[in-house]
Chain A
Amino acid sequence: MLELQKNLEKLTLRLERMGLRVAEAVNNAFDAIAQRDVTAGEWIDEDDSQIDQEEVAIEKECINLLALYQPAAIDLRRICCVIKVNNDLERIADIAARLGRRVKHLVAGNIALEDYADYGPMVHATRDILRQTVRMLNSADADLPRQVIEADRQLDAAYAAFTREVLDAARRSTDVDTALTAVLLARSLERIGDYCTNIAEDVFFLNTGDIVRHSAAFKAPADE
């Protein structure tokens, strides 16, 4: 195997590990929120700086490979894909860190998100899309990007239901702080779904060479 291919395999594995780590950070944030564990929330924030360093290291590796090998075709697409996915993963990790920092606020304000019936499904949808996204990073299954797009639709639906529920509850009470906190948190989860969609589009580009961002042609099977 050529040196470039060996390095690309290593790079793909490294990105997959980054994905696992980011998904773990988000899941840990959900657990910290559920258990009202302020310390666990702070750890997620601290771990984020390590993810930031890994993001920079992966990007440097991509630049080195571009400079040293001038790759073409699938190899070039892989490096472009890694650069973009790496960036989106780091942003998801930033959201996990933000969720971790928010635990302190939830505990101090005695805000129980679990009281909203639609909170659980939204968290479940977020965990699900992250799991699928990480699986997609090192899989030859060409259908996975579309599955991730579909998972984002489900997350969007869960987000909409949760937001409606929070706003309905807010109308009945004077607890603006709880409603605002809940909506901001939900918005963060919805952003995670958007980043996962970006990643799915990048993996689709890797597989096909077609840029489907902003394109109506790239639809989930359910919409076709």
Chain B
Amino acid sequence: MLELQEMAARAGRGAAGGESAEASPGAAEQTGGEGAEAAIIQAEKFSLYYGAKAGVRDITMDVWPRSVTAIIGPSGCGKSTFLRSINRMNDLIPDIRAEGLLLVGGVDVYDPRANLVHLRQQVGMVFQKPNPFPKSVYDNVAYGPRLQGTRREELDGWVEQCLRAAVLWDEVKDAMHRNALALSGGQQQRLCIARALATRPRVLLMDEPCSALDPIATAKIEELIVGLKRDYTIVIVTHNMQQAARVSDRTAFFCLGELIEYDDTKILFTKPSRKQTEDYVTGRFG
């Protein structure tokens, strides 16, 4: 309960908790849509180079809190590069160079003084293939909070809340100490989402989170994404345009490293303003 009170306070609500704070861990943003509050992710002429080659070039876009933003585009267009720039996952690649501004919560991600541990706690990530640790279900979720110093007596409740938020609790509550690798692919991916939520991030990055899943598991993850946006900002890269259309509020179309169009998802998929976007979403190229 302590966590809920803390979360409610962070979210600017009373300790009794609003519906969002009660429903899911880690709520951090003020309620409100575009225009009601500042963007949580702001890119201003942001470019990222691999050596001399630009992975993305001059990206200017804002991502609003408590929304789902989809990034679509043909292979090699820079959508994953941009996604991975947000929590500096690209740092693992040698010879990368960033230009322009990329802010998360008003903090410059590429500031040399940036605290990467804090950044990655704030910006969680879910990958294409489920990658649970070869540990128990419980330990997967508890791993991050333990490192953060969460007290043992609070841990059980927190793990449960994270698994509930990831809509996995009912399926694993009687097998918490079973090896996570024994779960199905869809369950493993939801476990990875629960693990990401456990460090109380503000933003969740998802890089094709359903591409390795069957349609039923995909539907569950999509439903989960829509539910999570009450409390989190989600940025998802997907090759599945129907999925982008179903789950996201806004969609960005990237091509050859550039942001071509960024608009409300409903507009982008029904009457995009750029010919290139129209050709892509109608399958005429890409």
Give residues in A with beta carbon < 8 Å to B: 2, 4-5, 70-77, 208-210
Contact = CB atoms under 8 A, between A and B. Distances in A.
Contact of A77 (B241, B270, B283): B270
A71 B282 contact: yes
Contacts of A209: 270-271
Measured as residues with beta carbon below 8 angstroms from the partner, the interface class of chain B is 10 to 19
Given A70-B242, A208-B271, A209-B270, A2 B283 contact: yes
A81 to B, nearest CB: 12
B286 to A, nearest CB: 11
Contacts of A72: 241, 245, 269-270, 281-282
Nearest to B278: A73
19 contacts: A2-B283, A2-B284, A4-B283, A70-B242, A71-B282, A72-B241, A72-B270, A73-B269, A73-B270, A73-B272, A73-B281, A73-B282, A74-B282, A76-B269, A76-B270, A77-B270, A77-B271, A208-B271, A210-B271
A65 to B, nearest CB: 12
B30 to A, nearest CB: 33
Contacts of B284: 2, 5
Given A208-B271, A209-B270, A209-B271, A75 B242 contact: no
Nearest to A80: B270
A73 B267 CA distance: 9
A44 to B, nearest CB: 39
A23 B282 CA distance: 32
Given A209-B270, A209-B271, A74 B283 contact: no
Interface of B: 241-242, 245, 269-272, 277-278, 281-284
Contacts of A74: 278, 282
Nearest to A205: B271
Nearest to A71: B282
Nearest to A210: B271
A139 B283 CA distance: 23
A211 to B, nearest CB: 10
A75 B271 contact: no
Closest 4 pairs (CB-CB, A-B): A209-B271, A72-B281, A72-B269, A73-B278
A3 to B, nearest CB: 9
Contacts of A75: 282
Nearest to A1: B284
A209 B273 CA distance: 10
Contacts of B241: 72
Given A73-B272, A73-B278, A74-B282, 10 more contacts: A4-B283, A70-B242, A71-B282, A72-B241, A72-B281, A73-B270, A73-B277, A76-B270, A77-B270, A209-B270
A77 B278 CA distance: 12
Nearest to A78: B282
A37 B46 CA distance: 76
Contacts of A4: 282-283
A169 B272 CA distance: 56
Nearest to A4: B283
A127 to B, nearest CB: 34
B219 to A, nearest CB: 15
A70 B281 CA distance: 10
A210 B271 CA distance: 8
A75 B245 CA distance: 15
Contacts of B270: 72-73, 76-77, 209
A4 B242 CA distance: 16
A115 to B, nearest CB: 51
A102 to B, nearest CB: 42
Contacts of B278: 73-74
Contacts of B272: 73
Contacts of B242: 70
A4 to B, nearest CB: 7
Nearest to B279: A73
A2 B284 CA distance: 7
A4 B282 CA distance: 9
Contacts of A208: 271
Nearest to B267: A209
Contacts of A73: 269-272, 277-278, 281-282
Residue picked from A2, A73, A75, A77, most chain B C-beta under 10 Å: A73
A74 B273 CA distance: 11
Contacts of B277: 73
A125 to B, nearest CB: 33
